[in-house]
Structures are given as structure tokens and as C-alpha cells.
Amino acid sequence: MSAQYDFQGKVAVVTGGARSLGLLTAQTLVRRGAKVVIGDVLPSGAEAVAHLNEEAPDTAIFQHCDVADTSSLKALIDVAVARFGRLDILVNNAGVFDRPWEQDQAGDYARRCIDINVRGLIDGTFHALQYWGQDEGRQGVVINLASTAAYTPMEFMAAYAASKAAVVSFTKSLSGLAPKVRVNAVAPGWVDTNLVDTEHIGRNHYTVLFAGLIEPPTVVAQIMRLIEDESMAGDIMIIRKDMEPVLCTAPKSIQIEAHMANVMRERAAAKGE
């Protein structure tokens, strides 16, 4: 049986945590005994944190954070460590849609989508890795928010689909960091959040009607599962409406390459190179 993760006393950072899926993730982490730092551009994050602290005093703080700004992300990680003394979990939840080409001919929405969904996610992960790498005893878990769009071309959100494919590849590529740092991702279909109500999508969009809407607690349950199960690293949990989640494990070739890289490092260290 796989070892199970103990949330008690752990410290988590959740980007895009002021509402919807991010807020529910933060609430669930607090209820399991963790302390949480919510990072978001929305000022409503402060109110969300106030409610969390009413439920469990001194367990949450809010930090204004634009994940497209790497210095803002670094400050988010630094605040978590300064306030709570450590960092154990990073949930890269922040994300946006782009627009169809006809509505974004200058590419402004597409660039913002890549900046938030890809560059921000990678920057946040690297800032966390820098902290965990400072001490051999530090361990961490990263959960990335991917999407089934990573596997299905979407002409009305081409940059979004590309960004989520990048998240999947990035997650799998970091499988070799385990067991010190485990990086996993959830890849849900349409989730019943405010993003669905984006002007060019809406609940009557043909893809939404075809796939159906997933309830946020279903996704959060899988986020917790990927944190809890210490055997999971580089894994993607694909979530669809009214179906059992499907675990897509890191390709064996990546695992073998990561293993060989570790062997070579150990040999070099033994030789004093």
C-alpha cells in the first residue's frame, strides 16, 4: 500500500485561489490541516481568506499576485515561507482562455493565455524548486492544472489547447524529481466554474453540451489524491463527466532517462568529479 501524505501543519500556495476551483482547493487544504497562501489578482481573495480564518484561525493569508509577473510569483512563495516558516505544496491553478483568431487578430489574448497558463506555471514551479533545493531535508508537491484540451484541438481556443499540452509535457518531464519533489497534474474537461461563462463560450456551446459540466469537488478530490499518494509523480489525472478518472502515468522512457541521470550523478559524486 502506498504511503499517504499527512497534511497536518503543511503549507500550501494556491494561485488563482480567490474563487471557484482554486478557492475550493484552498478550503479543502485548510480542512485537512494545512495552512494556505492564496495568490490572485482579484481583491476578493482577501474576503475569502477572512472566511477561512474564521473557520480555522491563522491558517490562511492573501497575497496579490499576477502569475504573469515572475517577481510577483517569487514574492508569493517568499510570503508563504516568511509567514508560516515553510512551503510544502504548490497548486498552479491560475489560468485563462484565449479567443478565436477572428476576435484576437493582434494576438493579445493568446499571449496573455500563454503568459499565465504556461510561463506563470513554470516560473511558479521553479521558484518553489529553488526553495526546496536549498535543503536536502525539504520535500514538496506540485499540482498543475491541465485540461483535456491538451489532447483535443480546439480551433476556438487554440492557444489555450496548446498551453495545456505544454502543461502536460512539463509535468511529465519533471517526474525524475521524485521522491524529493513530486509534480502531477489534473486534466479535467469542462468544469462548472465562472470560466465557462466567458463570452465566446457559454453553457450552450456545442462542446460544453456534448461533454457536460464536471462539478468542482470532483476535480478537487483528484487534486488531493495526487498530493496524498506518494507513489504518484509525473502523472496526469484525466477527468471527464460521469466517468471514472483515468490516470496517465509518466512514460517509461522518461522514467528510465531520469533514473540513468541519477545514476550518472551518483557515479560522478562517488568519483569526486
Q: What is the pLDDT of residue 5?
A: 85
User: What kind of architecture, by CATH, is found in domain 11-270?
Assistant: 3-Layer(aba) Sandwich (3.40)
Q: What is the pLDDT of residue 253?
A: 47
Q: What is the pLDDT of residue 80?
A: 98
Spell out the per-residue pLDDT of the chain, length 273, in tens. Answer: 456 789 999 999 999 999 999 999 999 999 999 999 999 999 999 999 999 999 999 999 999 999 999 999 999 999 999 999 999 999 999 999 999 999 999 999 999 999 999 999 999 999 999 999 999 999 999 999 999 999 988 999 999 999 999 999 999 999 999 999 999 999 999 999 999 999 899 999 999 999 999 999 999 999 999 999 999 999 999 999 999 999 987 665 455 555 556 666 777 777 775
Please report, for the chain, the start and end positions of each structural domain, with discontinuous segments joined by +.
11-270
Tell me the pLDDT tens digit for each residue of 38-64: 999 999 999 999 999 999 999 999 999
Task: Round to whole Å and give the CA distance between 98 and 12.
Answer: 28
Q: Are strands 246-248 and 236-239 parallel, antiparallel or unpaired?
A: antiparallel
Q: Are 207 and 153 in contact (CB under 8 A)?
A: no
Tell me the pLDDT tens digit for each residue of 212-245: 999 999 999 999 999 999 999 999 999 999 999 9
Q: What is the pLDDT of residue 1?
A: 42
| Annotation marks residue 160 as catalytic | yes
Q: What is the pLDDT of residue 266?
A: 75
Q: What is the pLDDT of residue 83?
A: 97
Q: What is the pLDDT of residue 249?
A: 78
Q: What is the pLDDT of residue 268?
A: 72
Report the predicted TM-score, pTM, of the whole model to 2 decimal places: 0.90
Q: What is the pLDDT of residue 92?
A: 98
DSSP string for residues in the chain:
---B---TT-EEEEET-SSHHHHHHHHHHHHTT-EEEEEESSTHHHHHHHHHHHHSTT-EEEEE--TTSHHHHHHHHHHHHHHHS---EEEE--------GGG-TT-HHHHHHHIIIIIIHHHHHHHHHHHHTT-TT--EEEEEE--GGGTS--GGGHHHHHHHHHHHHHHHHTGGGTTTEEEEEEEESSBSSGGGG-TTS-TTSHHHHHH-PBPHHHHHHHHHHHHHBTT--S-EEEE-TTS--EEEPPPHHHHHHHHHHHHHHHHHHHTT-
Active-site residue, from 131, 151, 160, 206: 160
Cis peptide before 179 (omega within 30 of 0): yes
Burial (CB count within 10 angstroms: exposed 0-12, middle 13-18, buried 19+), residue 151: middle
Task: Round to whole Å and give the CA distance between 107 and 189.
Answer: 25
Q: What is the pLDDT of residue 263?
A: 65
Q: What is the pLDDT of residue 267?
A: 73
Q: What is the pLDDT of residue 118?
A: 98
Tell me the pLDDT tens digit for each residue of 145-159: 999 999 988 999 999
Q: What is the pLDDT of residue 255?
A: 53
Q: What is the pLDDT of residue 260?
A: 56
